[in-house]
Amino acid sequence: MGGNGGKEQRVCFLLKVRPDRMEEYRRRHAEVWPEMLAALRETGWRNYSLFLAPDGLLVGYLETDDFDAALAGMAATEVNARWQAEMAPFFEDLDGRADAGIAPLTEVFHLD
């Protein structure tokens, strides 16, 4: 997904939160560390939202100029390493960091 000629990328992805960890997951995201929020902004994550379904399906959405660069920028931060280490146990079917499990969905329609 690298450079895109200056066109903004809309990225959507799915993950699965463990049913027994959903309440704690919600609580943690109501109190995201200020330094984590700053790092996301500084590395190009904009309009970033997470939606959690009752069955634990997590839908993530963000906008960025370059998704690969945004991921790499976060991967290089110490705060992201700490956050990912704390969040990893919340997810099903992941062997490690949640951000490494992000597989963007293919956009098939967009209404401007």
Which residues are catalytic, by number? Answer: 29
Chain CA centroid to CA 63, Å = 11
Contact (CB, 8 A) for 4 and 64? no
Query: Phi/psi of residue 58, each to 5°?
Result: -110, 125
Give the whole-angstrom CA distance, residue 48 versus residue 12: 10
Close Cβ partners of 80 (under 8 Å, ≥ 6 residues apart): 36, 39, 74, 99
